[in-house]
Amino acid sequence: MTLGLSLGVVVGYLVIALAVGLVAYRVSETTAEDYYLANRSIGTAVLLFTTFATLLSAFTFFGGPNLAFAAGPEWLVVMGTIDGVLFAVLWYVIGYKQWLIGDRHGYVTLGEMLGDRFGSVGLRALVAGVSLLWLFPYVMLQQMGAGEALVGLTGGVVPYWGGAALVTAFMIFYVVLAGMRGVAWTDTIQGLFMLSVVWIAAVWIVSAVGGLGAATGAMLEARPEFGRFGGGLYSPGFIISTAITIAFGVTMFPQINQRFFVADSGETLKRSFALWPVLVLLLFVPAFMLGAWAAGMPVDVPDGANVLPVVLTEYTPAWFAAIVVAGAMAAMMSSSDSMLLSGSSYFTRDLYRPVINAEASERREAWVARIGVAAFAVLAFVASLFRPGTLIEVGDTAFSGFALLALPVICALYWPRTTRTGMIVGVAVPQAAYLAVVLSAVVSAVPTLPRTVAGGWDVALGLMVLSAVLTVGVSLVTAPTAESDASRFTVAGD
């Protein structure tokens, strides 16, 4: 009975989201600009929530509470700094400038913008290829999260692969039909939904255990070190490198970076920027504190299970637990469908059309995009069945990979002297080095290279420095090519 109810809630949610997508599809035009960017007509509320919902995925909803449960509530501070402050600043530094440039020249993707500026198809394809490479583990992460969520909710009646497959099928269907407008609309619903549900859950559980003081008191009794700031996993090196790699990485995520092109006006971007820290807190405080408080609750969290559903099942009725899991699946889907949509635009516009088939018609391109989405999602689904790490580990790998793109892009946006060779070297060399580090952990024939050094400092941070040094250094010793045009990135004058 409860099983049927739980599944009913989850499926009911998916159906509502699909209905929204279909309405969006009916008002859509068939151009690429509309499909990917909703004709650059997204307003503040929708932009804010679409970015919010996209940003906050399985990584936040399950990975975050799990980490707070295991290592302490400092994760709240780490993520708050990342998303609330550092990302907000980068939103302005990178996002606003990109919006101005994109609005002027009609760019749809990051690769397209850079390729045009430096007159280089190779750079365009390189940026798109690198982005798609790191997008893969992040799509996979959502499928892993969905699989685990349904296992937790149904007590294993729906197997791990079943949950992952359900979400995969749904998101392919959705993205192929709706495009950016549908994605943005459902993201808004999902963002509001997640925010409300997580607050209700927190109030419910905190009052069940006897209030805020009692919840924190019980947590400190079980884990006294949770009350003290720092220590354990949270070394200064860990905090700083996690904050920097994730915040810079997020700006280069295709689905986030493409959001920088969709605002209807500069005002929209500005308002979103100012509201960001508060919105982030509203979600992180209840979600991560629930994870930390769970350390003091009489609950048994099995190995590999997510702590949030366990706590919910203990303290709230089954239908409510199902609603929260539906909210979490919503988070994963909005992350995934945005990622797939942006990924497909990177693939068709920056790889397929310039490199493979320049003569393709719009219609053909649209079909290639949709087939690309399906293939990418299915491959990620297959990879997710192997469960190559925890949600936080897989997510962190992807974030760091993207973070290596950020400094060369900032350099190109603000320093007219940047050259094509500088960009290619600054992007390619750190990427190759980081890929070697990541692959060395997977391939058993080679020794595993360390991911962190000297007490929690991430090697990706060092590689970020390398990317900046290479971009600037190589630019200084090479001349701009005849095809490059620095004036493409100037926004002064009108």
Task: Supply the Cα-derived Rg of the chain in whole angstroms.
Answer: 22
Phi and psi, residue 313, nearest 5°: -60, -35
Give yes or no for residue 86 binding other proteins (CB under 8 A): yes
Q: How many CB atoms lie within 10 A of CB 452?
A: 15
State the minimum distance, in angstroms, from the CB of residue 106 to other proteins.
Answer: 18
Position among 156, 266, 304, 473 found at the interface with other proteins (CB under 8 A)? 266
Burial 137-155 (b: 16+ CB within 10 A, else e): bbbbbbbbbbbbbbbbbbe
Give yes or no for residue 199 binding other proteins (CB under 8 A): no
Find the Cα–Cα–Cα–Cα dihedral 428, 433, 434, 437, rounded to 10°: 160
State the minimum distance, in angstroms, from the CB of residue 279 to other proteins.
Answer: 9
| Non-local CB neighbours of 298 within 8 Å, separated by 6+ positions | none
Q: Which is nearer to other proteins, 233 or 449 (CB)?
A: 233
State the minimum distance, in angstroms, from the CB of residue 80 to other proteins.
Answer: 6
Q: Which is nearer to other proteins, 4 or 224 (CB)?
A: 224
State the minimum distance, in angstroms, from the CB of residue 174 to other proteins.
Answer: 33
State the minimum distance, in angstroms, from the CB of residue 274 to other proteins.
Answer: 4
Contact segment (CB under 8 A) with other proteins among 156-164, 225-233, 397-405, 433-441 equals 225-233
Contact segment (CB under 8 A) with other proteins among 260-268, 352-360, 378-386, 452-460 equals 260-268
- Sequence letter at residue 122: G
Give yes or no for residue 237 binding other proteins (CB under 8 A): no
Position among 151, 243, 250, 331 found at the interface with other proteins (CB under 8 A)? 243
DSSP symbol at 39: G
Closest CA to 405 of 89, 59, 57, 134: 134
> Which pair of structure tokens corresponds to residue 444?
């058993």
> Which pair of structure tokens corresponds to residue 236?
């200064």
Give yes or no for residue 216 binding other proteins (CB under 8 A): yes
- Is-contact 453 89, C-beta < 8 A? no
Number of residues that bind other proteins (CB under 8 A): 49
Contact segment (CB under 8 A) with other proteins among 21-29, 32-40, 151-159, 261-269 equals 261-269
* 3-state class (DSSP) for residue 164: helix
Closest CA to 260 of 474, 87, 433: 87
State the minimum distance, in angstroms, from the CB of residue 56 to other proteins.
Answer: 16
Position among 169, 177, 220, 486 found at the interface with other proteins (CB under 8 A)? 220
Give yes or no for residue 280 binding other proteins (CB under 8 A): yes
State the minimum distance, in angstroms, from the CB of residue 284 to other proteins.
Answer: 9
Phi and psi, residue 234, nearest 5°: -85, 75
- Is-contact 132 350, C-beta < 8 A? no
Q: Which is nearer to other proteins, 54 or 216 (CB)?
A: 216
Phi and psi, residue 108, nearest 5°: -115, -30
* 3-state class (DSSP) for residue 361: coil
Give yes or no for residue 88 binding other proteins (CB under 8 A): yes
Q: What is the DSSP string of 313-327?
A: HHHS-HHHHHHHHHH
Give yes or no for residue 95 binding other proteins (CB under 8 A): no
Contact segment (CB under 8 A) with other proteins among 96-104, 142-150, 248-256, 333-341 equals 96-104
Q: Give, as ranges, the residues between 25 and 84 that touch other proteins (CB under 8 A).
A: 73, 76-78, 80-81, 84
Position among 11, 203, 212, 379 found at the interface with other proteins (CB under 8 A)? 212
Burial 177-201 (b: 16+ CB within 10 A, else e): ebbbbbbbbbbbbbbebbbebbeeb
Q: Which is nearer to other proteins, 93 or 371 (CB)?
A: 93
Find the Cα–Cα–Cα–Cα dihedral 435, 441, 447, 449, rounded to 10°: 60
H-helix segments, 385-458: 391-414, 420-442
Give yes or no for residue 159 binding other proteins (CB under 8 A): no
Give yes or no for residue 454 binding other proteins (CB under 8 A): no
> Cα angle vertex 138, ends 59, 451, to 5°?
85
> Which pair of structure tokens corresponds to residue 459?
């090697």
Give yes or no for residue 455 binding other proteins (CB under 8 A): no
State the minimum distance, in angstroms, from the CB of residue 221 to other proteins.
Answer: 12
| Non-local CB neighbours of 147 within 8 Å, separated by 6+ positions | 160, 161, 162, 163, 164, 167, 384
Position among 18, 23, 96, 119 found at the interface with other proteins (CB under 8 A)? 96
Burial grade of 443 (CB within 10 A; 0-12, 13-18, 19 or more) = exposed
Residue 149 CA to residue 195 CA, distance in Å, equals 18
Binding mask 284-323 for other proteins (x = CB under 8 A): -x---x----------------------------------
Give yes or no for residue 210 binding other proteins (CB under 8 A): no
State the minimum distance, in angstroms, from the CB of residue 410 to other proteins.
Answer: 14
Give yes or no for residue 492 binding other proteins (CB under 8 A): yes
Instruction: Tell me, rounded to whole angstroms, the distance of Cα 384 from its chain centroid.
Output: 17
Give yes or no for residue 354 binding other proteins (CB under 8 A): no
Position among 159, 231, 304, 416 found at the interface with other proteins (CB under 8 A)? 231
Question: Would you tell me which residues interact with other proteins (CB under 8 A)?
Answer: 73, 76-78, 80-81, 84-86, 88-89, 92, 96-97, 100, 211-213, 215-216, 220, 224, 226-231, 239, 243, 265-267, 270-271, 273-278, 280-281, 285, 289, 491-494
